[in-house]
Amino acid sequence: MCEVLNRWLCDARDKPIVTALEYIREYLMKRIANVLNVAAKSDGPLTPTATKLFDVVKREANSCVVLWNGTGQYQVNGPHGDQVVVDMQNRSCACRKWEITGMPCKHVVACLYNMTENSMEVGHVEDWVHHVYRLETWKQAYAFSIQPVNGRELWVKSSVLVKLLPPKKIKTAGRPKKSRRKLMDEKEDANNRGKLTRKGKTVQCGKCKLYGHNSRGCGDDGNDGKKRKMSSEAASKKKGKGHVV
Q: Place 231 in a pLDDT band, splitting at 50, 70 and 90.
A: low
What domain range includes position 104?
Answer: 48-137
Angle at 236 between CA 233 and CA 239, to 5 degrees: 155
Largest CA distance in the chain: 85
Q: In terms of domains, do 28 and 95 share one?
A: no
Q: In terms of domains, do 109 and 58 share one?
A: yes
Q: In terms of domains, do 124 and 57 share one?
A: yes
Give the model confidence (pLDDT) of 189-200 as tens digits: 655 565 656 666
Q: Which residues pair with 66 in a beta bridge?
A: 76
pLDDT for the residue 225: 44
Q: In terms of domains, do 130 and 69 share one?
A: yes
Q: How far is it, in rounded angstroms, from Cα 43 to Cα 82?
A: 35
148 lies in a domain? no
Q: Place 173 in a pLDDT band, splitting at 50, 70 and 90.
A: confident
Q: In terms of domains, do 73 and 127 share one?
A: yes
Cβ contact 113:61 at 8 Å: yes
pLDDT for the residue 195: 60
204 lies in a domain? yes
Q: In terms of domains, do 10 and 81 share one?
A: no
Phi and psi at residue 33, in whole multiples of 5°? Answer: -65, -40
Domains held by the chain: number: 3
218 lies in a domain? yes
Q: In terms of domains, do 58 and 23 share one?
A: no
- Report which of residues 35 and 167 the model is more confident about: 35
Angle at 105 between CA 99 and CA 110, to 5 degrees: 130
CB atoms within 10 A of CB 78: 18
Q: In terms of domains, do 133 and 53 share one?
A: yes
Q: In terms of domains, do 57 and 127 share one?
A: yes
Q: In terms of domains, do 33 and 52 share one?
A: no
**Amino acid (1-letter code) at residue 190:** A
pLDDT for the residue 138: 94
Which of 64-68, 152-156, 181-185 is the most confident on average? Answer: 64-68
150 lies in a domain? no
128 lies in a domain? yes
Q: How far is it, in rounded angstroms, from Cα 141 to Cα 137?
A: 6
156 lies in a domain? no
145 lies in a domain? no
Q: How far is it, in rounded angstroms, from Cα 73 to Cα 108?
A: 11
Angle at 151 between CA 146 and CA 155, to 5 degrees: 95
66 lies in a domain? yes
Percent of the chain with pLDDT strictly greater than 70: 84
**Amino acid (1-letter code) at residue 122:** V
Q: In terms of domains, do 37 and 52 share one?
A: no
Cβ contact 91:84 at 8 Å: no
Give the model confidence (pLDDT) of 32-62 as tens digits: 999 999 999 998 899 999 999 999 999 999 9
pLDDT for the residue 222: 45
Q: Mean of the pLDDT values across residues 143-166?
A: 86
Q: In terms of domains, do 92 and 125 share one?
A: yes
pLDDT for the residue 233: 59
Orientation of helix 106-117 relative to helix 48-61, angle to 10°: 70
pLDDT at 91 over 70: yes
Cβ contact 46:55 at 8 Å: no
The CA radius of gyration of the chain, in Å to the nearest whole number, is 31
